[in-house]
Amino acid sequence: MPKFCANLTWLFTEMPFLERFAAAKDAGFDAVEVLFPYDVNAQDIVHALSRCGLKMALINCPPPNYTGGDPGNAAVPGAQERFRHDFMRALRYAKTLGAQHLHVMAGAAEGDVARSVFVDNLRWAAAEAPKQSLTIEPIDAVSMPGYFLDDFGLARDVITAVGAPNLHLQFDAFHAARITGDVIGTWAAMRDLVVHVQVAQTPHRDEPDRDEPDRGQIDYPAFFAALDAQGYAGWVSGEYKPRADTVAGLGWLRTARALTDDAA
């Protein structure tokens, strides 16, 4: 059965940040991810994780929450020095929190020079932190206009060019649906590179369910069944905006567990 994780940047926002950990545990999650935890004292997060018996699955790099700023900088020509400074700070946070994965964001850029910068920065980062799992994630052009890594083929090319054993793919099914229109097919093509999965329904990036025929476009029961059948051992994170109360919208989680339990 896939292991499910709660994105605390998007979920349980009805309550203060440090209270979301216990809420996630009570809802049945065994791990959490936090996109930009840098405004919170790292030891406070460590204590929240420990109290609740939760693991930290993933955080993003670069550190400062980029609201109003740039969505990453790893592929931005001329920003190499800034990237390396940001990466080292993010790495310290990842180590303190015990984050399994550190997602390196490419930023807004385009062209061959940006690709070369991205590859060089990732090579440096992978060598600098050989024991830290690093991920890159294709993000669709509607959600983040101008983002360099907006294609799965490009992601494979970059990972191959970097050639580091600790660099992997982060597979967001919502972005896959928008980029290719075929989540299951894209998963099959990229599965060998994936260590972390995120889910949300299209078109509104809400709960990954299909309670009503016209509500969602991604067949999540089929997707979860594929993950289970193929023995995917990583986390599947709910990274979505709840339609209303977070707990009230967790029917998708109960359904997914029931389906995979029945299959077993």
> Hey, which residues are catalytic here?
137, 239
C-alpha separations of 117 from 44, 132, 162 in Å: 35, 21, 11
- Number of Cβ within 10 Å of residue 242's Cβ equals 18
- Number of Cβ within 10 Å of residue 84's Cβ equals 15
42, 89, 28: which is closest to 63 by C-alpha? 89
> CA–CA separation, 229 vs 231, rounded Å?
6
Instruction: Answer for the pair 74, 104: CB distance below 8 angstroms, yes or no.
Output: yes
Q: Give 5's strand partners.
A: 31, 237
Contacts 24+ apart (CB under 8 A), 86-89: 86/61, 86/62, 87/61, 87/62, 87/121, 87/125, 87/128, 88/128, 89/38, 89/62, 89/63
3-state secondary structure of 120: helix
Within 98-219, residue ranges assigned H as helices are 111-128, 152-162, 173-180, 183-190
What is the DSSP secondary structure assignment for residue 249, as one 8-state letter? G
What is the DSSP secondary structure assignment for residue 2, as one 8-state letter? P
3-state secondary structure of 57: strand
